[in-house]
Amino acid sequence: MKIHIFLILALYLVTLSACSMRGKNETTSANHVRAYDHGEDFSEYDDVIEHKGPIDPLTDPVIVDEKMSPPVEDEKYGLYQVQENDTLMLISWKLYGDIHRWRELEKLNGEDLLQSSGQLHIGMNIRYKYPKEEFKIHVEGEPYLIVRGDTLKGISDKVYETTHYWGVLFHNNRHLIRDPNLIYAGFTIYYPSDPKQYQKRSLASGKASL
Distance, CA of 105 to CA of 93 (rounded, Å): 11
Q: Where in the sequence of the chain do the CATH 3.10.350.10 domains occur?
A: 142-204
Per residue in 64-115, pLDDT (tens digit) is 333 433 334 556 999 999 998 888 999 998 999 888 899 999 999 988 887 8
Distance, CA of 33 to CA of 12 (rounded, Å): 32
Distance, CA of 51 to CA of 57 (rounded, Å): 12
State phi, psi for 115 to the nearest 5 degrees: -70, -25
| Whether domain 77-129 has CATH 3.10.350 | yes
List 189's β-bridge partners, or say none.
144
Q: Are strands 125-129 and 142-145 parallel, antiparallel or unpaired?
A: unpaired
pTM of the model: 0.52
Distance, CA of 187 to CA of 90 (rounded, Å): 7
| Whether domain 142-204 has CATH 3.40.50.2300 | no
User: Residue 17 carries which side chain, given as an amino acid letter?
Assistant: S
Mean pLDDT of 163-182: 93
Quickly state the pLDDT bin for 21 (edges 50, 70, 90).
Answer: low
User: Residue 11 carries which side chain, given as an amino acid letter?
Assistant: L
